[in-house]
Structure 1
């Protein structure tokens, strides 16, 4: 998944199952509880360590996603894409694409021009082996420098479950917007873990970020919605859909 160290002082913590509406305990995959290992490296690791971690788990990441029912979040995100951009010829960028789980759902819906971007080369290699995307981009999302993607390139820029501490920062939203065409959309979601444990990803902070995008003339409007992300636990994610200014 694409990463940019979040410098917030609020680093997050493990919370109870009841607070999340589901369980963080999953069967071990690859000799570890992947969900908890992900959170630990995000909270404690450097950007390079986070990248190396995702390279390391690429060999069993499909198995992990199946164990937690992560396809549910990808299906719901793909439905959002279809609701705002019905043209199957639309150019779409799947940011922090991981193993291509969202790209596969978009392909199932008939989208023909979907590119994948991820900072972990082995995740990119995994998606290549499946033939998920049209183009494959190995790069990080950084608020302070341009990703190697042209301006105004995509009708839809979407990101599924990759905003959080040690992952993609809200400060990257202008960069995601830069890659979208005028009148296009930027779609992302945040899992309940980060929404409930780190103020920077909660409703109030995110609303302030998105209002700033409208104020600065980057977006014309945005909406918030909720959907199930992990099928096995019922844990939700908060989704945001922003319309890029023309």
Structure 2
């Protein structure tokens, strides 16, 4: 019962195996194709339904990440962070931290003060059980509402693979910037699926958003890079690094 996918930002759309292509249909965990179900809930779900879905996903999300080689994306993001903020005492916030896969990579590199934030309580509980983060914060990143974090708190605000329809959007970038210190960095990536499928996350739209941040005095500079995200499929991600004014 498939309908054609609308590549604008509408919901009520079912993403089929055929539309995803064979490379996306290999990661079946818990009897379902996890990547497909994540996309379906993003297009179809309300914010509460999406939150509940990800909370329930926590019990087998580690297995999913391993099956698709998501560690590659986290490793590459951690290396970017190490390059732009080499101090291992830096305060870092991992936004939409999920199962803590990026936090684990940062810990391996020697960072000692990393907090994790996620809107799904199940993911937060999973991270607490692993002891990855200094603090675990269950909260959403909302463009119209501040998170319970003071201004100018973190040297690095980072996010790995969490931009997409129904998740974190470019409208949230001012809020991510608010909680970063002046001179700090905001680092995030967007998987190739969203870059190619939804105009809001494409190169042209993202460049326009980031130019506005510079124009409005929130950022001083930004750069764009690409790196491997899913090792199993070879899918890349586009990374953006912004310096906070």
TM-score where L is the length of structure 1: 0.92
Aligned to 2:76: 76
Aligned to 2:137: 137
Q: Is residue 2:196 matched to residue 1:215?
A: no
Aligned to 2:192: 192
What CA deviation, in whole Å up to 9, does each residue of 1:111-162 have, x standing for no partner? 0000000000110010011100000100000000100011000000000000
Q: Is residue 2:223 matched to residue 1:230?
A: no
Segments of 5+ residues of structure 1 without an aligned counterpart are: 1-7
Give distance in 2, aligned partners of 1:10 and 1:197: 12
What's the secondary structure of 1:225's corresponding residue?
Answer: strand
In the alignment, is the contact (CA less than 8 A) between 2:27 and 2:35 conserved in 1? no
- Structure 1 segments (4+ residues) deviating >3 Å: 8-17
Give distance in 1, aligned partners of 2:193 and 2:84: 27
**Structure 1 residue 88, shift from structure 2 partner:** 0.1
In the alignment, is the contact (CA less than 8 A) between 1:10 and 1:199 conserved in 2? no
Aligned to 2:5: none
**Structure 1 residue 10, shift from structure 2 partner:** 5.0
In the alignment, is the contact (CA less than 8 A) between 2:100 and 2:116 conserved in 1? yes
How much is the aligned-residue C-alpha RMSD, in angstroms? Answer: 1.3
- RCO greater where, 1 or 2, for CA within 8 Å and sep 6 or more? 1
Give distance in 2, aligned partners of 1:99 and 1:26: 21
Give distance in 1, aligned partners of 2:119 and 2:234: 28
**Structure 1 residue 27, shift from structure 2 partner:** 3.3
TM-score where L is the length of structure 2: 0.93
Give distance in 1, aligned partners of 2:199 and 2:10: 7
Aligned to 2:3: none
Aligned to 1:165: 165
In the alignment, is the contact (CA less than 8 A) between 2:20 and 2:36 conserved in 1? no
Give distance in 2, aligned partners of 1:207 and 1:16: 26
Residue-pair matches, total: 234
**Structure 1 residue 106, shift from structure 2 partner:** 0.1
Give distance in 1, aligned partners of 2:40 and 2:23: 16
What's the secondary structure of 1:23's corresponding residue?
Answer: helix
What CA deviation, in whole Å up to 9, does each residue of 1:23-63 have, x standing for no partner? 11123101210000000000010000000001111100000
Give distance in 1, aligned partners of 2:26 and 2:85: 35
**Structure 1 residue 9, shift from structure 2 partner:** 3.8
Aligned to 2:36: 36
Aligned to 2:181: 181
